[in-house]
């Protein structure tokens, strides 16, 4: 199977085929998600609160993203690997965005990058796409701005906010973005953005009208004690891993492991 490419974003939207996207932070899990047929793996800066022990995404560094991205990209053969530009690595100028994004491609092996924001980063996105770096946008709830947004809450409610969201989406499309993630947006607003854009929308907490869906893998697989209300748990992997761990501990303690089958007789 040939690797998923940015051109497949547009093709999927034209053909009405839903796009699938999941976060991945390391090679062990990325290999599984790739084998299962996920179109896009997102090395999200949600690595901060899901893997690195931070409260949110803000402390995540570009160096950490490079390491995680390299681990994910080396483990995949089909999925397109999109890496987040972390907070502080791109906002100040298009040049910052290019220098940071180039590291994610050259050192990390990413195929595309994702940035948070709309019209504000139009010129950043334009420089990236004109320089050969595919871009995925991210609008609605943008966690890197949670201090300005007043917490993790639904965005785009009300006519003015919905209109601003549409304008931001069109601005990103104009700058050459290949797709846009819509996070925590009312279903009708996400549907409207999806309708006015030629490029696909990928929703998370944005209803079923988007052209694709993305989830954080640890939420989706039942690894976390808490997850947002829009998440469905598709498996109890955390429970399965704990059970395996307990079984190993018990087998060592009662000396049923290692047995002769798992030892060298001589």
Catalytic residue among 183, 236, 242, 260: 183
Choose the one of ligand KIV, Na ion, none that binds residue 34, judging by a C-beta under 5 to 8 angstroms depending on kind.
none
Q: Is 65 in the site for ligand KIV (CB under 6 A)?
A: no
Nearer of residues 144 and 173 to Na ion, judged by Cβ = 144
Residues 6+ apart with CB under 8 A from 101: 85, 90, 113, 128, 133
Q: Is 239 marked as binding a ligand? A: no
The interface with Na ion within residues 4-63 (CB under 5 A) comprises 44-45
Q: State which of residues 80, 127, 139, 181 lies at the interface with ligand KIV (CB under 6 A).
A: 181
**84 labelled ligand-binding:** yes
Catalytic residue flag (residue 183): yes
Find out whether 137 and 166 touch, Cβ atoms under 8 Å.
no
Sole binder of ligand KIV in the list 34, 39, 84, 219 (CB under 6 A): 84
Show the 3-state SS of 107-156.
Answer: CCCCCEEECCECHHHHHHHHHHHHCCCCEEEEEECCHHHHHHHCCCCCCC
Binding residues with ligand KIV: total (CB under 6 A): 12
Q: How far is CA 198 from CA 109, 133, 170, in A?
A: 27, 19, 9
219 makes contact with ligand KIV (CB under 6 A): no
Per DSSP, 55 falls in state S
Q: Identify whether the C-beta of residue 38 lies closer than 8 Å to the C-beta of residue 59.
A: no
At its nearest, how many Å lie between ligand KIV and the CB of residue 142? 9
263 annotated to a ligand binding site: no
Residue 195: CB atoms within 10 A of its CB come to 10
71 binds, among Na ion, ligand KIV, none (CB under 5 to 8 A by kind): none
The annotation status of 114 as a binding-site residue, yes or no, is: yes
Q: ∠ at Cα 91 (47, 195), nearest 5°?
A: 80
Among 41, 216, 220, 221, which residue sits at the site for ligand KIV (rule: CB under 6 A)? 216
246's tokens: 């307990």
Q: Which is nearer to ligand KIV, 23 or 173 (CB)?
A: 23
The residues assigned a catalytic role are 183
Question: Under the rule (CB under 6 A), what is the footprint of ligand KIV?
Answer: 23, 42, 44-46, 84, 138, 181, 183, 204, 214, 216
């Amino acid at each position: 199977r040939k690797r998923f490419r940015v051109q497949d974003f547009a093709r999927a939207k034209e053909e009405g085929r839903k796009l699938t996207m999941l976060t991945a932070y390391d090679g062990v899990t990325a290999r599984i998600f790739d084998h299962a047929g996920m179109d896009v793996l997102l090395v999200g800066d949600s690595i901060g609160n899901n893997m690195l022990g931070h409260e949110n995404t803000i402390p995540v560094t570009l160096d950490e993203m490079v390491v995680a991205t390299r681990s994910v990209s080396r483990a995949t053969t089909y999925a397109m690997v999109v890496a987040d530009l972390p907070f502080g690595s791109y906002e100040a100028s298009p040049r910052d965005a290019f220098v940071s994004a180039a590291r994610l491609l050259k050192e990390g092996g990413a195929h595309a990058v994702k940035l948070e924001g709309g019209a504000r980063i139009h010129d950043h996105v334009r420089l990236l796409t004109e320089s050969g770096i595919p871009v995925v946008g991210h609008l609605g709830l943008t966690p890197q701005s949670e201090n300005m947004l007043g917490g993790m809450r639904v965005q785009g409610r009300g006519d003015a906010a919905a209109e601003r969201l549409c304008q931001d989406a069109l601005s990103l499309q104009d700058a050459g973005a290949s797709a846009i993630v819509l996070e925590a947006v009312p279903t009708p607003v996400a549907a409207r953005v999806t309708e006015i854009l030629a490029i696909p929308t990928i929703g998370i907490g944005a209803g079923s009208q988007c052209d694709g869906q993305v989830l954080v893998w640890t939420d989706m697989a039942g690894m976390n004690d808490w997850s947002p209300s829009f998440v469905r748990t598709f498996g109890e992997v955390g429970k399965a891993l704990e059970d395996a761990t307990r079984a190993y501990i018990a087998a060592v303690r009662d000396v049923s492991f290692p047995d002769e089958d798992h030892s060298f007789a001589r």
